[in-house]
Amino acid sequence: MKDLEVNKKGEQTFRYPQESFSEKTKTFEIPREAFFRKAKTGDWSNYLTPSMVKHLEKIIQEKLENS
């Protein structure tokens, strides 16, 4: 699951819309701490909706299918 986009080091490319993409491009890193917090066992149920849980279970099943 380390290859999921959400688990990668945060790097975002911002482009200025009034210029062409190749001329005005700036890239900077966003720290992981901006997206991740200290986990508490079972706390996910306070944040995830039932549809989000189903989606996450599907991803986990796909990633672990051949392991």
Query: What does the alpha-carbon distance between residue 28 and residue 12 come to, in Å, rounded to a whole number?
Result: 6
Q: Does any domain span residue 1?
A: no
Predicted confidence (pLDDT) per residue in 5-56, tens digit = 656 665 555 555 555 555 666 666 666 666 666 778 888 888 899 999 999 9
29, 13 contact by CB (below 8 A)? no
**Is 26 inside a domain boundary?**
yes
Q: How many domains does the chain have?
A: 1
Residue 59: which domain range? Answer: 8-64
- Per the CB < 8 A criterion, the answer to whether 1 and 7 are in contact is yes
pLDDT for 30-41, tens place per residue? 666 666 667 788
Q: To which residue do tokens 């009034």 refer?
A: 18
Q: Report the pLDDT value the prediction gives residue 47, as an integer from 0 to 100.
A: 86
In a domain, 2, yes or no: no
